[in-house]
Amino acid sequence: MDDLLIRIITRLVRVHDEMGQKCFEDAAQRSLVAIARTVQVEAGRKAGLEQPSLGDGVLPFPLPNERKNAHQLEKL
């Protein structure tokens, strides 16, 4: 984990140095979105919801009836 974190930070610092503040901020924000999307997909998988791929443009927010159906499937 430490090596990967260092690689991410190093890459963001390099983007800042070579491309400037605006590009750095965009890259950092996109990194945060990618982390959030990955966590959302994994949480949906663990909850038994239909799993969207990370390539999809928008991840649907699970509706209460979807969670209820997933919970009922676990009991089977």
Element (H, E) at 29: helix 21-46
Whether residue 30 contacts residue 22, with contact meaning beta carbons closer than 8 Å, is answered with no
**pTM of the shown model:** 0.60
Q: What is the pLDDT of residue 46?
A: 85
Q: What is the pLDDT of residue 17?
A: 97
Domain boundaries, the chain: 2-75
pLDDT above 50 (res 76): no
pLDDT above 80 (res 45): yes
Name the residue with tokens 């239909």.
Answer: 50
Query: Buried b / exposed e across 19-50, counting CB within 10 Å, b at 16+?
Result: eeeeebeebeeeeeeeeeeeebbeebeeeebe
The 10s digit of each residue's pLDDT in 1-39 is 799 999 999 999 999 999 999 999 999 999 998 899 889
